[in-house]
């Protein structure tokens, strides 16, 4: 019998609760327990580290009142190593769906207060089921990773859980956008699910990723490193390129996710979201006419061109501190999302190397998967020479960039601002790789190589015979540059669609993009190509 106090004519009496009321109370009590995660003490410990709780992260990401939680009452079934006495609701991961700026998204958030957010069989199945739903319903998935890795007590079952998760990440690839937000540890097998997703956002000071931790590294190799040095946000944003975006804290990381989502369609069958233009780029466009230095060896910042050409305030650069000789990111042209790929003349003269090739190739393939047009800005003297580059496979990695451009069927527009030499000219969105519209500025130099190198090869005998080789060299360089290092020979052949004033670039790109949004390109049926990995 369950008794409850009630007031009848001013007197408190005990009445019996109905069976239905008892069941309702039981549900509410279980919900309270589930919402407490690992308990108040564990939550305070989490907050003391400067970290948010798993539920706070979801609340901050989603539009208020839109979150629907799934599988709240899931618990593990392990009875080994005392785990039968530690059975928490949610099993260390919160899953569900909601909206970000009105767009449906699926989200999971690992709860470090429950068994260190470790992944066991039930934990994995919740994420796997969420990914299956997201694929079925065509919506992005955002995962907050805060986990100690595989749950050792569950042995092979936890490893199987990772395998099932990896399989779903691969199945979802190219169908729905996948974003991983690293907000705590992500170690061992746990790193490979984020690595299989499209974008990784890390948080300074509180997040890190590595396959083996500092203790194991020291035991095996003798190398000593802190968690931050081995796999912190600074390491993965500068040295490895693993992190696409880095937030100074979790609040900024979550805001970066929202901005990123604003450029992306929900799935591969949709077009990217158009945004109404509130401010247009009109001031400063004339400055582009003089942005290219008189000295062809003098660097300049390609970002200044990008920011003038795309809609004002609409450029989200990715992997900004890694492979800085190439720039990638999302922008908008007249409200329409585009992917931007650009050589950066101020770093390594904009030459392509291994990391730049990998960085640009993967970004191009993402844009192609999700119907996002690609705009390429070219100022490239060639591939970076050197033993290190050759021995580490610049041939193979450079071929990835060729493959990505040639494979892409989305609208592709290219602007050559200055140098476009040799094989690098072909690679960087040339007409020969099926780019749709190719523009060149009057300062463009489209040739096998620069004037000095060409003259030294073509006129080596004359230079060897003359009494004043330096004077002759300068004369021949000037003549060669005037005749060959210009965009007009390529334009005569149809390799360049138009030579334009720099100040016309934004308008020309907008006009060229509009009809290409109707582009339909059919290829031979095949399972998939064999990209040079």
1: pLDDT confidence band, cut at 50, 70 and 90?
A: very low
With beta carbons less than 8 A apart as the criterion, state whether 441 and 502 touch: yes
459: pLDDT confidence band, cut at 50, 70 and 90?
A: confident
| Pairing between β-strand 178-187 and β-strand 103-110 as defined by DSSP bridges | unpaired
**Catalytic choice (124, 172, 424, 451):** 424
Question: Is 424 part of the annotated catalytic residue set?
Answer: yes
Percent of the chain beyond pLDDT 70? 96
Domains, in order of start, for the chain: 15-261 (3.90.226.10), 285-450+485-516 (3.90.226.10)
Partners of residue 339 on adjacent β-strands? 330, 374
Helix axes 121-137, 156-172, angle to 10 degrees: 10
pLDDT given for residue 470 in this prediction: 80
15: pLDDT confidence band, cut at 50, 70 and 90?
A: low
* Token output for 17: 């609760």
Mean pLDDT along residues 361-369? 98
SS (H, E, C) 159-189: HHHHHHHHHHHHHHCCCCCEEEEEEEEEEHH
Mean pLDDT along residues 473-490? 85
pTM of the model: 0.93
31: pLDDT confidence band, cut at 50, 70 and 90?
A: very high
With beta carbons less than 8 A apart as the criterion, state whether 433 and 402 touch: yes
Q: Which residues, other chains included, contact 212 with Cβ-Cβ below 8 Å and sequence gap of 6+?
A: 187, 188, 220
Cα separation, 247 vs 183, in Å, equals 10
Helix, strand, or coil (residue 367): helix
**Catalytic choice (155, 423, 434, 453):** 423
- For residue 6, pLDDT over 90 is answered with no
**Catalytic choice (117, 188, 429, 450):** 188
- In degrees and rounded to multiples of 5, residue 96 shows phi and psi of 165, -165
- For residue 467, pLDDT over 80 is answered with no
98 or 6, which is more confident? Answer: 98
Q: What pLDDT digit, counting tens, does each position of 162-181 carry?
A: 999 999 999 999 999 999 99
pLDDT given for residue 472 in this prediction: 82
Q: Which residues, other chains included, contact 126 with Cβ-Cβ below 8 Å and sequence gap of 6+?
A: 70, 71, 74, 90, 91, 93, 95, 108
With beta carbons less than 8 A apart as the criterion, state whether 51 and 112 touch: yes
Q: How far is C-alpha 169 from the chain's CA centre?
A: 15
Question: Is 386 part of the annotated catalytic residue set?
Answer: no
Mean of all residue pLDDT scores within the chain: 93
Residue 180, CA distances (Å) to 337, 384, 472 in order: 21, 32, 59
pLDDT given for residue 183 in this prediction: 96
Question: Is 188 part of the annotated catalytic residue set?
Answer: yes
Q: What pLDDT digit, counting tens, does each position of 88-119 carry?
A: 999 999 999 999 999 999 999 999 999 999 99
483 or 47, which is more confident? Answer: 47
Q: Which of 9-23, 125-139, 182-196 has the lowest mean pLDDT?
A: 9-23
- For residue 8, pLDDT over 60 is answered with no
- For residue 132, pLDDT over 60 is answered with yes
pLDDT given for residue 337 in this prediction: 97
Q: How far is C-alpha 492 from the chain's CA centre?
A: 38
134: pLDDT confidence band, cut at 50, 70 and 90?
A: very high
Q: How far is C-alpha 1 from the chain's CA centre?
A: 59
Question: Is 313 part of the annotated catalytic residue set?
Answer: no
With beta carbons less than 8 A apart as the criterion, state whether 228 and 184 touch: no
280 or 257, which is more confident? Answer: 257
Task: Indicate the DSSP class of residue 407.
Answer: H
Complete DSSP assignment for 255-290: HHHHHHHTTS-SSTTSPPPP---SS---TTGGGGGG
- For residue 415, pLDDT over 90 is answered with yes
529: pLDDT confidence band, cut at 50, 70 and 90?
A: very high
pLDDT given for residue 12 in this prediction: 62
**Catalytic choice (92, 189, 231, 450):** 189
Q: Please tell me which of 208-217, 269-278, 322-331, 519-528 the model is most confident about, judged by mean pLDDT.
A: 322-331
Q: What pLDDT digit, counting tens, does each position of 264-314 carry?
A: 999 999 999 998 876 666 666 899 999 999 988 899 999 999 999 999 989
Mean pLDDT along residues 148-159? 91
- For residue 346, pLDDT over 60 is answered with yes
pLDDT given for residue 474 in this prediction: 81
pLDDT given for residue 278 in this prediction: 61
């Amino acid at each position: 019998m369950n008794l409850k106090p009630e007031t009848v004519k001013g007197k408190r009496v005990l009445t019996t609760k109905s069976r239905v009321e008892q069941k309702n109370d039981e549900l509410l009590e279980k919900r309270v327990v589930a919402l407490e995660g690992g308990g108040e003490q564990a939550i305070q410990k989490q907050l003391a580290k400067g970290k948010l709780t798993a539920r706070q992260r979801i609340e901050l990401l989603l539009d208020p009142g839109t979150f629907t939680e799934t599988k709240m009452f899931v618990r593990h079934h392990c009875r080994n190593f005392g785990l039968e006495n530690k059975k928490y609701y949610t099993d260390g991961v919160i899953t569900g769906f909601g909206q970000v700026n009105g767009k449906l998204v699926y989200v999971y958030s690992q709860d470090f207060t429950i068994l260190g957010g470790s992944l066991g069989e039930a934990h994995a199945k919740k994420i796997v089921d969420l990914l299956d739903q997201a694929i079925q319903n065509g919506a992005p998935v955002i995962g907050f990773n805060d986990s100690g890795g595989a749950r050792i007590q569950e042995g092979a079952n936890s490893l199987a859980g990772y395998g099932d998760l990896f399989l779903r990440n691969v199945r979802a690839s190219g169908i729905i956008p996948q974003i991983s937000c690293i907000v705590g540890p992500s170690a061992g097998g746990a790193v490979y699910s984020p690595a299989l997703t499209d974008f990784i956002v890390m948080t300074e000071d509180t997040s890190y990723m590595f396959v083996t931790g500092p203790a194991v590294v020291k035991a095996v190799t003798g190398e000593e490193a802190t968690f931050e040095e081995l796999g912190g946000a600074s390491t993965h944003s500068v040295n490895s390129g693993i992190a696409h975006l880095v937030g100074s804290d979790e609040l900024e990381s979550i805001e970066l996710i929202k901005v990123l989502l604003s450029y992306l369609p929900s799935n591969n069958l949709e077009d990217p979201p158009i945004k109404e233009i509130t401010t247009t780029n009109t001031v400063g466009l004339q400055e582009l006419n003089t942005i290219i230095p008189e000295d062809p060896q003098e660097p300049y910042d390609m970002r200044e061109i990008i920011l003038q050409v795309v809609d004002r305030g609409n450029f989200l650069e990715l992997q900004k501190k890694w492979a800085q000789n190439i720039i990638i990111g999302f922008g908008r042209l007249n409200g329409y999302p585009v992917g931007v790929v650009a050589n950066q003349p101020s770093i390594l003269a904009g030459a392509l190397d291994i990391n730049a090739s990998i960085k640009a190739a993967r970004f191009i393939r993402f844009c192609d998967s999700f119907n996002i047009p690609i705009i390429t800005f070219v100022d490239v003297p060639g591939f970076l020479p050197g033993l290190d580059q050759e021995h580490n496979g610049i041939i193979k990695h450079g071929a990835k960039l060729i493959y990505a451009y040639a494979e892409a069927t989305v609208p592709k527009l290219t602007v050559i601002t200055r140098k476009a030499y040799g094989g690098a000219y072909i690679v960087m969105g040339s007409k020969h790789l099926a780019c749709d519209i190719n523009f060149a500025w009057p300062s463009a130099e489209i040739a096998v190589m620069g004037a000095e190198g060409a003259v030294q090869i073509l006129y080596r005998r004359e230079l060897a015979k003359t009494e004043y080789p330096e004077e002759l060299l300068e004369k021949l360089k000037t003549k060669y540059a005037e005749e060959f290092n210009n965009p007009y020979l390529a334009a005569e052949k149809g390799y360049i669609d138009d030579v334009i004033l720099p100040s016309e670039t934004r308008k020309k790109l907008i006009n060229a993009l509009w009809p290409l949004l109707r582009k339909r390109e059919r290829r031979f049926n095949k399972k998939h190509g064999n990209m040079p990995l």
